[in-house]
Homo-oligomer: A and B are copies of this chain.
Amino acid sequence: MGADTRMKGRNGTRTADVMSAVRAKVAGRALGAGDRLPSIRSLAATMDVSPSTVVEAYDRLAAEGLIRARRGSGFYVSPMAAPPLALAEVEPRRDREVDPFWVSRQSLDADAAVLKPGCGWLPADWMPEAGLRRAVRALARADERLLTDYGSTRGALALRRLLITRLAEDAVEASVDQLMLTGSGTQATDLVCRFLLRPGDTVLVDDPCYFNFRALLRAHQARIVGVPTTPSGPDVAHFEQILGSERPRLYITNSALHNPTGATLSLATAHRLLTAAAGHDLTIIEDDIFGDFEPERSPRLAALDGLTRVIRIGSFSKTLSASVRCGYIAARADWIEHLVDLQVATSFGGPSPVAAEIIAKVLIGGSYRKHMDELRQRLTRTRRDVARKLQALGIEPWLMPRGGFFLWCRLADGLDATAVARAALEEDVVLAPGNVFSVSQSASHFMRFNVAQMSEPRMWDVLRRALKSAPGITGS
């Protein structure tokens, strides 16, 4: 029995209004478990109702268990009133397939028989296997302290020094106190979000963007706003306008080989973007996880800005190993100091010394550069071949990226990508429908393809059938 049928007349409606207002505050976490509710007099004044209306509303909410009266001291939110942070329920789930967890959980938990052109990584046999095995064999002979002890709080110095050299190749100047290692690239982003954000803060992302940015920002209870992506980076006019109207605290982006579109930030866009950011005191996370796939280096925000308001993060999951977990943050030295405290508090110690040792060993060996050279060439051929095959099915790349393994494509005839993905999943093929990447849910007829995961003929058979079975959509 809803509030509407239970309460009659104007006073009843007003009581329901007060109850809704309190419920919204608890659901939205403005009032937490144990918090004192406003006094009856003050809430009556604020909501322009009589004190007796508030009394009735509080009594009803107490009967429901949402709040509790404490003798002589007013009303409090019940200990269990505020639900745990169930991410998949934070937003309405109109469509299970466009949930940002859909692709990650389907592809991470898939068994070996499942094909994954929707996933965000290379097949195992495209990775630098020989170098990894050499590094692990060397690890078996390492000093016993390396095998057993906690590492230093910023992570292994040898790997940090190596990363500083690599940052310099991107024209990003950093000193050793401006860099720390983390458990992964995502953990790096998460740590920065914990440092800078609080619930309700507005965060700007690209539209479309890497779907896990959306999942991560939900975990921070951030308000997510999207800026449209163009082939040369975010739409700067939109960006400037949003900075004025939405006052975001943070912007998260990939400059080089943007995920999912493959866009590359131009120097002019980078300059305008940083000028606008300075005017609004905006902090930027530049996630450079795909940087090593570039044929030649493109502009980085961190290089122009000099790590003042730009925080550079990265990892080795895409080029070296996703099983050996390691990421990094390069930022202002004073921020790194606080981020180290935060990492000690929340994961004790720095990242795994064993992981840092394996990564450093592979990077130092000359075989890594050779591997990346070959990988880039192989991907150039594969992107071209797959694009041609997709075009034959009416699936058109939005642009031909300069590097990497993604093709962001528009489906023919306004086909609904979610319906296509659902049909393919029935046949054990995980696709990545456009709207998992889109804050505005405006990518209904887009799909991201991972060209390195599309060599199986069965995948193409399934895709063809899925395209035929899916309904078209009218309008945008």
Contacts and interface: CB of A to CB of B under 8 A. Distances in A.
Interface in A13-30: 29-30
A202 B150 contact: no
Nearest to A353: B323
Interface string A153-175: 11000000000000000000000
Contacts of A200: 32, 34-35
Given A32-B201, A341-B88, A184 B348 contact: yes
Nearest to A111: B152
A410 interface: no
Nearest 8 CB-CB pairings of A with B? A45-B45, A215-B345, A186-B348, A127-B148, A136-B140, A325-B352, A42-B46, A124-B145
Copies of this subunit:
2
Nearest to A125: B144
A380 interface: no
A33 B183 contact: no
Given A34-B247, A344-B108, A324 B198 contact: no
Nearest to A44: B45
Interface stretch (A79-87, A255-263, A388-396, A414-422): A79-87
Contacts of A345: 87, 101, 186, 212, 215-216, 218-219
B146 A219 contact: no
Interface of A: 29-30, 32-35, 38, 42, 45-46, 76, 79-80, 82, 84-88, 101, 104-105, 108-109, 112, 121, 124-125, 127, 129, 132-133, 136-137, 139-141, 144-154, 183-187, 190, 194-196, 198-202, 212, 215-216, 218-219, 223, 246-249, 280-282, 317, 321-325, 335, 338, 340-342, 344-355, 358
Contacts of A351: 325
A190 B45 contact: no
A344 B101 contact: yes
A324 B352 contact: yes
B201 A199 contact: no
Contacts of A352: 323-325, 352, 355
